[in-house]
Each structure stands twice: as structure tokens, then as C-alpha cells.
């Protein structure tokens, strides 16, 4: 894909409290500052993409977690993202996800905030992506985000080998100095076997630059100590 991807890590580490700030985690790396990069629309030249900091290691609970909502069909703009996600999950022996309207509503709220603030930061179990360019229209916003997150798979295979990541490996992938060549947390969140619900949303800047933000929120994922059982190699059976 064209453009660059930010390679820093921030967000929540095992915190129970909702909100943009980081929280301490008993097994993960220490608190890190929220992403403060400028709006991607400020870049010059052709179309660009930006990947959020890796979604943080987690304790398996969504901040403010509520009982599961009844599965609902995704809105038209999210159909492609759900289909692409499930296609990639099948390659790793993970079951197909169901669309969750409550998670979409939460994702929409956070995407709107990211767009208003002109920066990406985490507020729960989410993957975030931003970009701008005339080649992205409609469903392409969401589909390109999913594809971008999955592009971390070779990094995970090379660095972790589909084993259980060590604390040191976590600190590299989720630490403040992580680059796009270190991050794999978006990929693991995407194919996490125990995660069965998904909601995605997009939001655009209101200025003339036309930058947009994509947020996909998951019910669980990136739980330390559970990677080996939830992130399987390609070709695995469910």
C-alpha cells in the first residue's frame, strides 16, 4: 500500500476504566502516553495511510462491558469489512465473527473523537487506521483498514513464531519506540479465536483535507498468556 504507517504504541494496558488514557497492567508494559501525531491530512503528496498504535495487551474485558447484544446484520458500509475479516480469520482456524450494533456505536463514537481531535488513540479493544486520498471511497475505507492490520502477520510469524510472546517481546511490540516493523498487535486482535463479535465505523475530518478515521472494536483479544491458544498459524483448523 502507498503511504506511511505510524509505528508507535500507546493506549490501555489491562485497565478497567474507559477513556483515552493508559492504565497499568500486571503483566504488560507500563503506561504509555496517548498517540499525539498530527492529522494525516497534514501530509503532502499522494494518498497516505496511517496505522494506529498497536491495540494494547489486555485482561480480556471490555471497559464498561455489558451483556452481549443480539447479533445484527451490519450496515452496508461495514459489510465488506466483516466479510474480509472473516475470510482472514478462516485462514487461521478462527470462527466467523457476528456483527454487533453496540460495538459499532462505540466504534463510531470513538472514530468521531479521533477525527475531531485529529489524532489516533485507543479507548478499549480496538484497531484504528487513518488515511486520505481520492482512491478510497465507500467501503474501501473499512476494507483497506482490515487489510493493513493483517499485513502484520509476517512480523508475528517471524518474531513470535505463533508461540506465547514473552514479556520482553511484548515490550518491543507495544513499547513507545515500536516501529511498523515491530508491531503485530493489530493482526492478533483481528484473528483472535475467542473473539466472536465486531463493530466498525468511520469518520471524516470536517475540513477540506478530507482525512478519515476507521475504528473496529472487538469484544476481546490480546490477552497476555492466551496468544498461543487464540492466534493460530495459517492453515489451522477451527
Length of the chain, in residues: 238
Q: What is the pLDDT of residue 209?
A: 64
What does the alpha-carbon distance between residue 217 and residue 215 come to, in Å, rounded to a whole number? Answer: 6
Look at residue 23 and tell me if it is in a domain.
no
Parent domain of 180: 47-56+72-229
**Would you say 7 and 179 are in contact if contact means Cβ atoms under 8 Å apart?**
yes
Tell me which residue of 51, 8, 17 sits closest to 179, measured CA to CA.
Answer: 8
Domain total in the chain: 1
**Would you say 189 and 127 are in contact if contact means Cβ atoms under 8 Å apart?**
yes
Look at residue 33 and tell me if it is in a domain.
no
Look at residue 76 and tell me if it is in a domain.
yes
Instruction: Please list the residues that pair with 48 across neighbouring strands.
Output: 132
Look at residue 8 and tell me if it is in a domain.
no
Look at residue 38 and tell me if it is in a domain.
no
Residue range 208-226: mean pLDDT, rounded: 88
Q: What is the pLDDT of residue 137?
A: 59
Q: What's the pLDDT band for 118 if we cut at 50, 70, 90?
A: confident
The CATH number of whichever domain residue 158 belongs to comes to 3.40.33.10
Look at residue 3 and tell me if it is in a domain.
no
pLDDT tens, 21-66?
222 222 333 223 233 333 443 333 333 444 555 555 554 544 444 4
What does the alpha-carbon distance between residue 79 and residue 142 come to, in Å, rounded to a whole number? Answer: 9
Q: How high does pLDDT run on average in the chain?
A: 74
Look at residue 20 and tell me if it is in a domain.
no
**Would you say 98 and 196 are in contact if contact means Cβ atoms under 8 Å apart?**
yes
Instruction: Please list the residues that pair with 98 across neighbouring strands.
Output: 197
Q: Is the confidence at residue 231, as pLDDT, over 60? A: yes
Tell me which residue of 17, 15, 1, 9 sits closest to 186, measured CA to CA.
Answer: 9
Q: What is the pLDDT of residue 238?
A: 74
pLDDT tens, 146-159?
999 999 999 999 99
What does the alpha-carbon distance between residue 110 and residue 213 come to, in Å, rounded to a whole number? Answer: 9
Q: Which residue has the higher pLDDT, 54 or 166?
A: 166
Look at residue 19 and tell me if it is in a domain.
no
Amino acid at each position: 500500500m502507498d503511504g506511511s504507517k505510524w509505528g508507535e504504541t500507546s493506549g490501555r494496558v489491562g485497565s478497567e476504566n474507559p477513556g483515552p488514557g493508559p492504565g497499568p497492567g500486571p503483566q504488560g508494559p507500563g503506561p504509555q502516553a496517548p498517540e499525539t501525531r498530527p492529522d494525516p491530512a497534514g501530509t503532502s503528496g499522494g494518498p497516505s495511510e496511517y496505522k494506529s498504535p498497536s491495540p494494547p495487551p489486555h485482561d480480556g474485558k471490555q471497559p464498561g462491558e455489558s451483556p452481549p447484544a443480539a447479533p445484527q446484520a451490519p450496515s452496508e458500509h461495514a459489510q465488506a469489512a466483516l466479510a474480509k475479516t472473516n475470510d482472514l480469520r478462516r485462514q487461521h482456524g478462527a470462527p466467523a465473527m457476528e456483527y454487533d450494533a453496540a460495538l459499532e456505536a462505540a466504534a463510531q463514537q470513538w472514530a468521531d473523537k479521533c477525527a475531531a481531535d485529529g489524532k489516533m488513540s485507543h479507548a478499549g479493544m480496538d484497531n484504528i487506521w487513518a488515511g486520505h486520498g481520492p482512491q478510497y471511497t465507500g467501503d474501501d475505507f473499512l476494507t483497506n483498514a482490515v487489510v493493513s492490520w493483517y499485513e502484520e502477520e509476517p512480523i508475528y510469524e517471524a518474531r513470535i513464531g505463533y508461540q506465547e510472546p514473552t514479556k520482553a517481546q511484548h515490550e518491543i511490540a507495544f513499547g513507545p519506540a515500536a516501529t511498523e516493523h515491530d508491531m503485530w498487535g493489530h493482526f492478533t486482535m483481528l484473528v483472535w479465536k475467542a473473539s466472536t463479535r465486531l463493530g466498525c465505523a468511520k469518520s471524516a475530518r470536517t475540513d477540506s483535507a478530507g482525512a478519515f478515521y476507521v475504528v473496529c472494536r472487538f469484544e476481546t483479544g490480546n490477552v497476555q498468556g492466551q496468544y498461543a491458544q487464540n492466534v493460530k498459524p495459517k492453515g489451522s483448523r477451527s
